[in-house]
Chain A
Amino acid sequence: KQEVTQIPAALSVPEGENLVLNCSFTDSAIYNLQWFRQDPGKGLTSLLLIQSSQREQTSGRLNASLDKSSGRSTLYIAASQPGDSATYLCAVRPRSQGNLIFGKGTKLSVKP
């Protein structure tokens, strides 16, 4: 059974810092991995999607990497801003299924 774990559960950093969020999954038979952002009480916004054959994806200040064999992904946020404060969720799509399996998220707080 696929399980997704995110560490740390919460993170507080001063504005301007670079930071890394971690995601691990137990079964490497995945189709892709996605990172989402969720603001309090709101739906999810897709940030980056990495196909199983890819090693990383970049969008602006965000860079996501994928090491499928070790079951790990990282989300790197450069030069963090208070507007980056949100919960970041990692999700994998198993190869045999259409749905996503999510971690519990990392709650990020960027202080001015």
Chain B
Amino acid sequence: DTGVSQNPRHKITKRGQNVTFRCDPISEHNRLYWYRQTLGQGPEFLTYFQNEAQLEKSRLLSDRFSAERPKGSFSTLEIQRTEQGDSAMYLCASSSTETQYFGPGTRLLVL
């Protein structure tokens, strides 16, 4: 296992469209996190799963955002009715101890 993987790596969409991103964590990592990063800023927390349970959700996660982690393995993050302000890098991380291991991210551009 080579690490956390995310797909797609890049996504360009038109405003109002729905998009879905996938994260495959490191095998047997029971914790999975989603963060969003805009240019010149540090990552901002969105949501956190322990196994299949979504334990924490940031206020940044509006009702247009939904995340799932069926069966406690991979996770998906869906954004409905995208807005230009959703343009950012979406990062996934996983952990089994305290250290979080990050994937390469999905860069979203909303036109």
A interface residue numbers (CB < 8 A to B): 4, 31-32, 34, 36, 41-46, 49, 51, 89, 91, 93, 97-105
Contact = CB atoms under 8 A, between A and B. Distances in A.
Contacts of A97: 56
Nearest to B95: A98
B45 A42 contact: no
Contacts of B13: none
20 contacts: A4-B42, A41-B107, A42-B105, A43-B91, A43-B102, A43-B103, A44-B93, A45-B102, A46-B99, A49-B99, A89-B42, A91-B42, A98-B48, A98-B50, A98-B55, A98-B56, A99-B56, A99-B58, A100-B33, A103-B42
Top 7 A-B residue pairs of the complex, sorted by shortest distance between their CB atoms:
A102-B42, A99-B45, A44-B102, A43-B102, A43-B104, A98-B48, A104-B42
B31 A98 contact: yes
Interface string B20-48: 00000000000101010000111111001
Given A42-B104, A43-B91, A99-B48, 9 more contacts: A32-B98, A44-B43, A45-B102, A46-B100, A49-B98, A49-B99, A89-B42, A97-B56, A101-B45
Nearest to B43: A102
A104 B41 contact: yes
Contacts of A45: 102
